[in-house]
């Protein structure tokens, strides 16, 4: 078991009322799964993804990740945990505009105490694997959306995480580019990487092995 969510609640207080963002979420994710989270706008998809990614806290419930109880972990330990095991892919790629493709890929490694030579090797490896060696010195703005997302995925993968969390990874892409990214995810999943993606598209959801539907913070 990679991770387990038990009775997760998350809410905000607004105007004296408690508004639930997540309501009683129970979810088990095994290693190697490819899960798609679907639901209308505001149903809590991204929130759930962020909770799983340990970027967002929750108010009630238990979260176990690789036998660690995330809900009782200290901030620091939690950070080390997601740093080591989780990679993020965003709808708007979130590449750093001031850095080249190569530097963008290298960036997460800087925070993980890899040696310079190691970093270089890992970046080269990744550039190779995604066929973007020729673009390594370009800045994100010089790339098409699909290429940018490719770099985004590559960056998420560079420190070999067990789990990739993708928040509408194809949302900003045209259908052809989107397909390519989804094919890439499929391929990665086949190689053993666990993937959880949020998506609006039925077609993209089909790539996954399991679909979770959310409505008003609840799994249906």
Partner 1 sequence: MFKLFLKIATRFLFKNKMYSFINVAGLAIGVASFILIMLYVNYERSYDTFIGSENVHRVFMDYLEGGKYVPGDANAYILSGPSLKEKFPEINDFVRFRRRHGMVLIHNNLAFDENIGALTDPSFFSIFDRSLSKGNPQTALSEPYSIVLTSSLAKKIFADANPIGETIKIVGDADSIFTITGVLADDNQKTHLKNDFLVSFETFYTWKIFQNDWKYTWNQNEYFTYLQVDESTNVDLLNQKVMAFTPEGLKNERHHLEPIEDIHLYSHKPYEAETNGNGDNIKLLSIIAFITLFLSWMNYMNLSSSKSLERAKEIGIRKVAGAKKSQLTLQFLFESALLNFVAILLALLVVYLLLPSFNRLVGQNLGFDSAQLKTLLPYLGIMLLGASLAALYPAFVLSRFSPVKVLKGKLQTSKNGLHFRRALIITQFVATIALLICTFMANKQIRFLKNRPIGADLNQVVALKGQVLNRASDSLFYPKFETLLDELRKSPYVDEVTAAGTYPGDAYANMNSNLGLTFPDGRIDDKHIWYNYGAYPKYFDLMGMEFAAGKAFSQTAQKWSRNVVINERMAHFMGVSDFEGIIGKTINFWEEDWTVSGVIKDYNHFGLKARVEPLIIRHGRNSSNVLVKLDKKATTMAGVNKALYDLERTWYKVFPLSTYNYTFLDQKFEAFFNEDQKFAKAFQIFTILAILIASLGLFGLTSYTCIQRKKEIGVRKVNGATITQILQLLNQDFIKWVGLAFVVAIPISWFAMHKWLEGFAYKTTISWWVFVLAGISALIIALISVSWQSFRAAIANPVEVLRDE
Cα distances (angstroms) measured from residue 34 to each of 93, 117, 122, 147, 209: 20, 33, 25, 23, 5
Q: Please say which residue, 98 or 191, places its beta carbon nearer to partner 1.
A: 98
Burial (CB count within 10 angstroms: exposed 0-12, middle 13-18, buried 19+), residue 18: exposed
Query: In the bound complex, what is the minimum distance in angstroms from residue 105's beta carbon to partner 1?
Result: 10
Q: Please say which residue, 99 or 133, places its beta carbon nearer to partner 1.
A: 99
Q: Please say which residue, 53 or 145, places its beta carbon nearer to partner 1.
A: 53
Query: Phi then psi for 181, rounded to 5 degrees?
Result: -65, -40
Q: Please say which residue, 107 or 188, places its beta carbon nearer to partner 1.
A: 107
Taking a C-beta distance cutoff of 8 angstroms, is the pair 110, 119 a contact?
Answer: yes
Query: In the bound complex, what is the minimum distance in angstroms from residue 83's beta carbon to partner 1?
Result: 4
Interface positions with partner 1 (CB under 8 A): 46, 50, 53, 55-56, 79, 82-83, 88, 90-92, 94-96, 98, 107-108, 110-112, 155, 159, 167-168, 171
Rounded distance between C-alpha atoms, residue 23 and residue 190, angstroms: 32
The conformational region for residue 200 under phi > 0 = left, psi -120 to 50 = alpha, else beta, is alpha
Local structure of 141: helix, strand or coil: helix
Q: Please say which residue, 66 or 210, places its beta carbon nearer to partner 1.
A: 66
Query: In the bound complex, what is the minimum distance in angstroms from residue 62's beta carbon to partner 1?
Result: 20
Query: In the bound complex, what is the minimum distance in angstroms from residue 88's beta carbon to partner 1?
Result: 5
Closest to 101 in 3D by CA, of 85, 83, 124: 124
Query: In the bound complex, what is the minimum distance in angstroms from residue 57's beta carbon to partner 1?
Result: 8
Query: In the bound complex, what is the minimum distance in angstroms from residue 10's beta carbon to partner 1?
Result: 12
Rounded distance between C-alpha atoms, residue 106 and residue 24, angstroms: 38
Taking a C-beta distance cutoff of 8 angstroms, is the pair 218, 24 a contact?
Answer: yes
Burial (CB count within 10 angstroms: exposed 0-12, middle 13-18, buried 19+), residue 97: exposed
Q: Please say which residue, 76 or 134, places its beta carbon nearer to partner 1.
A: 76
């Amino acid at each position: 078991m990679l991770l387990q969510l038990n009775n997760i609640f998350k809410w905000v207080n607004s105007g004296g009322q408690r508004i639930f963002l997540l309501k009683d979420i129970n979810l088990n994710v095994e290693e190697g799964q490819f899960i798609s989270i679907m639901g209308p706008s505001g149903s809590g998809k991204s929130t759930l993804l962020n909770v799983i990614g340990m970027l967002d806290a929750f108010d009630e419930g238990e979260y176990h990740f690789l036998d660690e109880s995330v809900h009782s972990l200290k901030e620091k330990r939690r950070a080390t945990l997601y740093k080591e095991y989780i990679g993020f892919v965003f709808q708007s790629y979130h590449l750093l505009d001031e850095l080249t493709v190569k530097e963008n890929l290298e960036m997460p490694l800087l925070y993980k105490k890899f040696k310079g030579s190691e970093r270089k090797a890992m970046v080269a490896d990744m550039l190779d694997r995604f066929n973007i060696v020729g673009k390594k010195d370009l800045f994100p703005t010089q790339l098409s959306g699909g290429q940018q997302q490719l770099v985004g995925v590559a960056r998420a993968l560079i420190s070999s995480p067990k789990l990739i969390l993708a928040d509408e990874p194809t949302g900003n892409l045209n259908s052809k580019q989107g397909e390519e990214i989804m094919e890439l995810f499929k391929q990665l999943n086949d190689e053993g990487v666990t993937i959880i993606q949020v998506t609006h598209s039925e077609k993209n959801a089909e790539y996954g092995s399991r679909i979770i539907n959310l409505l008003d913070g609840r799994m249906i």
